[in-house]
Amino acid sequence: MNKGYPVLALLAIALFSAAPVIVAQAPYEATMGLVQKIFYYHVPSAMVMFLSALICGVASSVYLFRARPGADRIAAAAAELTVVFGLIVLVTGPLWARKAWGVWWQWDARLTSTLLMWMIFVAYLLVRRFGGPGAEKLSAAMAVFGMANVPFVYVSVNIWRTIHPTTRVVPSLAPGMRGPFWFCVLSFMLLFGLLLAVRARLEQRRADLEHLYLLADEE
Amino acid sequence: MQGTMTKKLMALIVAFWLVGASGVRLVASTQGQSPQTPPTGQAAGAEPQDQFVPVKSLPQQEQLPAAPLLLTAYGFVWVVLLVYVWTIWRRLMKVEREMQVLSARVAEKSGRG
Amino acid sequence: MFLRVAWLVMRKDLTIEVRSREILYTTVFFAVSCVLVFAFALVKEGRPLEDAAAGIMWISVAFAGTLALGRTFERERHSETLRALMLAPTSRPAIYVGKLLGIVLLLLIVEAVLVPLVGLLFHAPIGNRPLLLVALLLFGTIGFSAVGTLFAAMLVRARSRDVMLPILLYPITIPVIIAGVRGTAALFEPVPATDLAQMWMALLAFFDIVFVTLSLWTFEPLMTE
């Protein structure tokens, strides 16, 4: 394994552990108060989730058209991470909404398309796990179609009025909140990169194992 | 040949997103213009709007305590990530163990043969 | 050449279907029983639930479509004919288009039975804007089948394909269902909201274009073993 991993891992753990402390020192938001602090974990997770989905889609299309097994491993790792971070987004979101909107769930465009995207990647993992031979290609197709699907879901659900805070919230953050927010984004991104590398390595080792089994059978 | 294929695909994906984004704006603008706002769509959209009351205007005792929600959220994130790291570690260990057993067997076999 | 191959594949499927009528009869029966189940669940004291007709119609179409897709490709798998088709020295996208046309035609026949039945049982005014309703159904069916044909063709080789098809198909075709249901519901209003239905129809048409293109494009690498 690479020598850089342990250093990066320590750094990620340090950043991630420091995040709650830094968030605690961030100023209170005027209207929402304490519950607004969920935002510091919710938004970075959402960013990581979308990045991960994008990586999975691109890696899947590379795998489909160029038949690179490495791309498939990255796609599989990214799909699993999309599901993990998507779960975080989908749980922290309602916890915030309960206080801010008064309801746990809203059928607005952003929430619904996030949920559906998450479901597409859960389906990806299910196909991969239970699809039998040829499941890699099937799941790659699922990822490519799922990516193309996201704008459609967004448009079609957008007819129902959107009440989710828009992405413009981030640039308009108060100066005191900007630091902690980007700190959290950094720590999430670093963690994501590490997890992706480790998870892709697991997939690599599984491929090696498969290869070794074939060798053992031949003898 | 294959390189152009991938490039084309990338371009297509980017185009989808762009078209999708412009479509959203289009839908939003047509919605704003047409006097006949969606009767069915509104039924779903208007309902929560009626229920929506700004937190500040609620009486004090009706306000939910924020701390449990916040702690649940942060705790959940930590638990999920730790459990996930643990599962990766376990799977990796399992593969490594299997690999050791297998390579020992292969070495033994080839040594004999 | 492309169109000819597509035409031949479709004609082959239809000829088998006309001889046996297995898929048509079973799918129609399934769709009708689906609507009846919904009727028992949602009609209270002789009055159907308001606004339910459009949803029930599209859910039945989606369920029946899944069944028809599964059966069509099961038939191909049974006699290894899909492999033979793939080995034929023709362009594979043409085979895809042929299969797609066959399934769309089959589903349209099913809908011809289903829609009047829903109108009858749920008091839906299906005669409000017949042309627009037909267009919505046509575009929706094409969109659903475009994704469905591709996935069903890929799943021919897979284990547990019966479960996998809906798992893959439903999340991807959610926009079709939303657009179809909302567009049809707009038409079923006492005063049909034509412009809204047209907007949904445009979205469906756009979905069809994108997903048929994407399927044509990915069919070749996906079907290569």
pLDDT tens for residues C62-102?
999 999 999 888 888 877 788 888 888 888 889 899 999 99
Burial C44-78 (b: 16+ CB within 10 A, else e): eeeebeebbbbbbbbbbbbbbbbbbbbbbbebbee
Highest mean pLDDT range out of A15-24, A70-79, A111-120, C184-193?
Answer: A70-79
**Widest CA span in chain A:** 72
Q: Which residues of B touch A215 (CB under 8 A)?
A: 106
Positions of E strands within chain A: none
SS3 call for C29: helix
pLDDT confidence of residue C50: 74
pLDDT confidence of residue A105: 83
Residue C163, CA atoms < 13 Å, CB-side half-sphere: 9
Pick the residue of C167, C169, C203, C204 with the most A CBs within 10 A to test the interface with A by mutation.
Answer: C167
Q: Which residues of C touch B14 (CB under 8 A)?
A: none
- What's the mean pLDDT when you consider all of chain A? 82
Cα–Cα dist A200/A214, whole Å = 21
Whether residue B57 is predicted with pLDDT greater than 60 in this model: the reply is no
For residue B66 the two structure tokens come to 């924020």
- Of residues A31 and C208, which shows the higher confidence score? C208
Q: Tell me the per-residue pLDDT of C103-121, one tens digit each, with 9 for 90 and over.
A: 999 999 999 999 999 988 8
For residue A147 the two structure tokens come to 């990516």
Pick the range with the lowest mean pLDDT from A10-19, B88-97, C53-62, C201-210.
A10-19
- Residue/partner pairs of C78-86 with CB below 8 Å, 24 or more apart: C82/C153, C82/C156, C85/C9, C86/C223
B38 → closest Cβ in C51, C193, C206:
C193
- What's the mean pLDDT when you consider all of chain C? 88
Chain C: give the shortest CA distance to residue B46, in Å: 16
Q: Tell me the per-residue pLDDT of C114-170, one tens digit each, with 9 for 90 and over.
A: 999 998 888 888 888 889 999 999 999 999 999 999 999 888 887 788 888 998 899
**Per the CB < 8 Å rule, is B27 touching C199?**
yes
> A70 CB near a chain C CB, below 8 Å?
no
**Per the CB < 8 Å rule, is C178 touching A156?**
yes
CB A52 within 8 A of CB A82: yes
For residue C114 the two structure tokens come to 């289903």
ipTM: 0.84
pLDDT confidence of residue B61: 41
Quick one: pLDDT band at residue C207, thresholds 50, 70, 90?
very high
CB A187 within 8 A of CB A19: yes
> A111 CB near a chain C CB, below 8 Å?
no
CB C185 within 8 A of CB C124: no
